[in-house]
Structure 1
Amino acid sequence: MQEEENQEDPFVESVEENENEPKRRVWNCLCIPIHWFNMLSREMHWSFVFGVVVVYGISQGVGGAFATVGTKYYMKDVQKVQPSEAQVYSGITSIPWIVKPLWGLLTDVVPIFGFRRRPYFIFAGFVGAISMLLLSLHENLHLVLALLSLTAGSAGVAIADVTIDACVAQNSISHPSLAADMQSLCAFSSSVGALLGFSISGIFVHLIGPMGVFGLMTIPAGLVILVGFLLNEPRMHNFSCKQVNRNCLDAGKSMWNTLKSEDVWRPCLYMYLSLALSLNIFEGMFYWATDSKDGPAFSQESIGFIFSICSVGSLLGAILYQYALKDYAFRDVLFWTQLLYGLSGMFDLILVLRWNLKFGIPDYFFVVVVESIAQMTSRLKWMPMLVLSTKLCPSGIEGTFFALLMSIDNLGVLSASWGGGLVLHVLKITRTRFDNLWLAILIRNVLRITPLCLLFLVPRADPNSSILPSEIANSKVAVDTSETIDVELVSLVHSVDGK
């Protein structure tokens, strides 16, 4: 009898293993992100990952979601401006992102109290917190002062963004095989933060109003200050003003020599034109969507939930790029993503012409699906350009040059915003008139397709290869940082590439 029981044991064990196999697979899938975060923390130090999560996930993700919904209702209900004016004002508040090279140059060559990164995080957090407090505490704030406060808040986020981008660019050079992973970390943090922020932003706008939402935005600014205090950054000693001047001149010369290279200015020109030609008419769509006469008359909670569900599309875009597209050539990925981005805009035309109701599709469901697709294609279009930008940064001035490339992109976004405002104004689309909104959408969609004719400006290289010419990639900028470890956030504690 004992022998028979022993013979049955292997069979019982195999059955139990088969039953536990699905659970084990689910657990392994859940552990993949954890292992990925641990790998990045191990290779580039935990403070780098913490900084990315705070800046991209909380400040730009959650805070950006609150700012987006709060500012739109603030302009519409408190300041009572026209959609074309709101479109122009949104461009004004983005100006700090255009001067990102200035912030990048300061963080690269002008240390404060011996630190290159920590003071700029602290300064950015204080600027953001003070500007948001001013907006939240003054009920009848003049439009000019409101714009100045919104612009100052945008400057705080931009300075923090430049500082963490310098670390991303540096680590992309020292860990070329992890360049796409770092951009995926940024995109993942931003998408998850936006999902959380948009989920509750509409509720808070309804409960405490847009001014109360501005008050809540001091919390992300405070966390940015915390990043500045917690960074593990070595201190520089005996750094003179003459050295700062020399470093600025050397950095400027290096930037100019890099930018005038044909391998650099051509993709920069494409990135600017692809963004500038994608006209932004979102303010017109927002005014129409919340209008009770011609539009769906979405409530504040509905707008927040729509944005939150749509941010899932952005997250899916980041995941799709990470696991399916990150190794393909830049030109191939940009062709398909730009094409999908242009075609997805046609859904807005169906919505405005109310054709979805003729097919029995409710507005809320249709908008959620359409905006999710738009966010996914936009993220897919944006991520290869970010990876391409990191590949164009010369060693020594990574933060400054990456900021320059991002400012070129933001100039394209500003051009699209002001161009969209001009279209709304010319077509006489106001707070109560939306007759020509369909024509504005059609013009925007046609212009979105035109960058396909400019893809010859993009290199055929893939993200795992070098793009910069050897004479630029191998040159070192004469920036004296001998007193420090030339690594942001002690990122080379464990170097895979050095093994």
Structure 2
Amino acid sequence: MMVEEEKLSTLDEHVLENESKGGICSCVWTPIYWFKMLAMEMHWSFVFGVVVVNGISQGLGGALGRVSTDYYMKDVQKVQPSEAQVYSGITNIPWIVKPLWGLLTDVVPILGYRRRPYLVLAGVLGVISMLFISLHRELHIVFAVLCLTAGSAGVAIADVTVDACVAQNSGTHPYLAADMQSLCSLTSSIGALIGFSFSGIFLHLIGPKGVFGLLAIPFCLVLLVGIVLKEPHTPNFAYTQVNQKVLDAAKAMWTTLKCPDVWRPCLYMYLSFSLSLNIHEGMFYWYTDPKAGPSFSQETVGLILSVGSVGSLLAALLYQNGLKDHPFRDVLFWSQLLLSLSGMLDLMLVLRLNLKFGIPDYFFVVIDESVSQMIIQLKWMPLLVLSSKLCPRGIEGTFFALLMSIDNFGVLSSSWGGGFLLHILKVTRTQFDNLWLAILIRNILRAAPLCLLFLVPRSDPNTSLVPTEIPNTKEGTEISGSENIELVSLVNNIDGR
């Protein structure tokens, strides 16, 4: 404790010294000093890994990949919006199996290393898939979806692995846990803003296939992180224990899920996501259609999405500073209700009511995107906190990853359900007569989870929700150890701000 106090006092002295300089110089030098301090305390390779994986690969690369995938499906593969909706769900499957990646990085080291080989694997997987889809002239849709899924798997594996590094360093450097979470959030947000802002420009200059080729660069950097990351070498690992550890984790998670205090909120989380049908591809095709829609350019689409990411960031700040102490049911009720009502903005846009009120399409869509993304984030934040409260001791990391997978499976169901709705209503590449009906049905279904709020505990979010009847088994403790994959990195991000 004395060592930690001395380090904290030293850090405070440097911060005060920087602040005393005041003005613009303080704004410039404080972040530089902060990065330098983190690099000195935990090794520069860790800071480099967080910036690359969270900021460049997941933030910037994810933004570029989202926009380029939309245009690739529309202009290159020329698929219908309902098909594109189904394909987008398939590419997100690697995020549903996050507990698998977590278990592998936690209990199955390769050549004596737990983190580095998986970062190398993620980088190689991403580079090969992005170059393949970029260089192939007439790639069949099946192979295109496989490449996009492989790239998504690369991002997911790298994300889980860096989360494990953050969790491990939070245990050895608890006085810097908040700084590490700030580093993750800051780099991810900045990367997404930059990616969306420049996505339209890159698409206009080199096309969607060219952007995929450009995305090989972030994966090369992930590969580089796997090479330079400082990690202790642990040879002579007993691989015979792997099967038993995985089996113990599965048994502990199943025992926990059977508890009513756990499965009821899990059921609500899945239904709240799955009932909010995703018809993004139908709206995107309409946005860019020169006859039926406003015919937004590639640059305009990128800028609109960048405004949406700003709305998400503002929602996170609003929840942290004003809503985090409110009961889960209250926040979820209003966020779900507002989500249903905000969907009516899409309806007004498609019916062209905004033009009758003299509001230009671009201005109206910017408002729509920022409001909807803000409300979606406000809904997501209490669910994330609720998930963290449901994790029993001993299997926190793996169980939290399981809860995130349940949410992602709900998103997958939403995407496929939206594709089915677009197909039934015959919304095609050029036919949008029934798009307004798809939006109306989606908005009505968004209100359905309001009837399921009884599944969510009516408790103070600051109290513990871990079921007391679930024993803390020896096996569960061994599985968790000091290197939980998801617990520290995600839970501290919410509760420790």
TM-score range, shorter chain: 0.7 to 0.9
Distance 1:346 1:190 in 2: 30
1:93 equivalent in structure 2 = 91
1:258 counterpart (239, 249, 256): 256
Change beyond 3 A, Cα 1:123–1:251? same
Residue 369 of structure 2 aligns with which residue?
Answer: 371
State the SS of the aligned residue for 1:387.
helix
Candidates 439, 451, 457, aligned match of 1:459: 457
TM-superposed CA distance for 1:196, in Å, is: 0.7
Which of 78, 83, 96 does residue 80 from structure 1 map onto? 78
1:234 aligns with 2:216: no
Partner SS for 2:417:
helix
Q: Secondary structure of 1:430's partner? A: coil
Q: Per-residue deviation at 1:263?
A: 2.2
SS of 1:60's equivalent in the other structure is helix
**What's the offset of the Cα at 1:195?**
1.0
Determine helix, strand or coil for the equivalent of 2:475.
Answer: coil
**Residue in 2 aligned with 1:304?**
302
Counterparts of residues 320-359 of structure 1 (less than 5 Å): 320-359=318-357
The 8 Å contact of residues 393 and 477 in structure 2, kept in 1 or not, is answered as: no
In the alignment, which residue of structure 2 is the partner of 1:267? Answer: 265
Aligned residues: 471
Larger mean CA deviation between 461-470 and 256-265 belongs to: 461-470
CA deviations over 1:443-487 (Å, ceiling 9, x no partner): 1111111112212222234444322124547444357589x9646
Aligned partners of 1:91 and 1:417 also within 8 Å = yes
- The structure-2 alpha-carbon separation of the partners of 1:76 and 1:423, relative to structure 1 and needing over 3 Å to count, comes to same
TM-score normalized by the length of structure 2: 0.84
User: Which amino acid is the alignment partner of residue 113 of structure 1?
Assistant: L
- Kindly state the Cα deviation for residue 333 of structure 1 after the two structures are TM-superposed: 2.1
CA distance in 2, matches of 1:169, 1:470: 25
Q: Which residue of 1 aligns with 2:12?
A: none
Conserved? CA contact 1:195–1:311, under 8 Å: yes
Amino acid at match of 2:456: V
Aligned to 2:11: none
Query: Structure 1 stretch 440-449 or stretch 47-56: which is displaced more?
Result: 47-56
Larger Rg over CA atoms: 1
Q: Is the 8 A contact 1:310 1:375 kept in 2?
A: yes
2:204 corresponds to 1:215:
no
Scaled by the length of structure 1, the TM-score of the pair is: 0.84
| Matched residue, 2:193 | 195
SS in 1 for 2:236: coil
SS of structure 2 residue aligned to 1:84: helix
Residue 110 of structure 1 aligns with which residue? 108
CA RMSD between the two structures = 3.5
Assess, with a 3 A threshold, how the Cα gap between structure 1 residues 378 and 127 changes in structure 2: closer, same or farther: same
User: What SS does structure 1 have at the residue aligned with 2:412?
Assistant: helix
Distance 1:82 1:189 in 2: 35
- In 2, are the aligned partners of 1:278 and 1:444 still within 8 Å (CA)? yes
The answer to which of 396-405 and 415-424 deviates more is 396-405
Could you tell me which amino acid in structure 2 is paired with residue 445 of structure 1? N
SS of 1:477's partner is helix
Q: What is the CA-CA distance between 1:104 and the residue it aligns to?
A: 1.9
In structure 2, what is the equivalent of residue 319 of structure 1?
317
2:244 equivalent to 1:246: yes
Is 2:85–2:416's contact at 8 Å kept on the other side of the alignment? yes
Contact 1:342 1:446 in 2 (8 A): yes
Inter-partner Cα distance in structure 1 for 2:333 and 2:55 = 29
Which residue does 1:9 correspond to in 2?
none
- Opposite residue 338 of structure 1, the aligned amino acid is Q
- What letter matches 1:375 in structure 2? Q
Alpha-carbon separation, structure 2, partners of 1:338 and 1:30: 40
- Give the aligned partner of residue 439 of structure 2: 441
1:228 & 1:474 partners in 2: Cα distance? 34
Q: Is the 8 A contact 2:171 2:482 kept in 1?
A: no
Task: Give 1:258-297 correspondences, 5 Å limit.
Answer: 258-297=256-295
Query: 322-331 or 335-344: which moved more?
Result: 322-331
Greater shift after overlay, 281-290 or 118-127?
Answer: 118-127
Q: State the one-letter code of the partner of 1:126.
A: V
Q: Decide whether aligned partners of structure 1 residues 32 and 422 sit closer, same or farther in structure 2, where only a CA change above 3 A counts.
A: farther
Q: 1:398 to 1:206 in 2, by over 3 A?
A: same
The answer (yes or no) to whether the contact 1:124–1:159 under 8 Å persists in 2 is yes
Cα distance in 2, alignment partners of residues 324 and 26 from structure 1: 30
CA distance in 2, matches of 1:427, 1:443: 11
1:230, CA displacement in angstroms?
A: 4.2
Larger deviation, residues 245-254 vs 454-463: 454-463
- Give the 3-state SS of the residue equivalent to 1:80 in structure 2: coil
| Cα separation, 2, equivalents of 1:481 and 1:83 | 43
1:145 equivalent among 138, 143, 146:
143
SS in structure 2 at match of 1:298: coil
Structure 1 residue runs of 5 or longer lacking an equivalent are 1-20
Distance in 1, matches of 2:405 and 2:174, equals 23
The more displaced of 257-266 and 226-235 is 226-235
Could you tell me how far apart the structure 2 residues matched to 1:264 and 1:181 are? Answer: 31
Cα distance in structure 1, aligned partners of 2:168 and 2:449: 30
Describe the shift of the 1:294–1:262 C-alpha distance in structure 2 as closer, same or farther (beyond 3 A): same
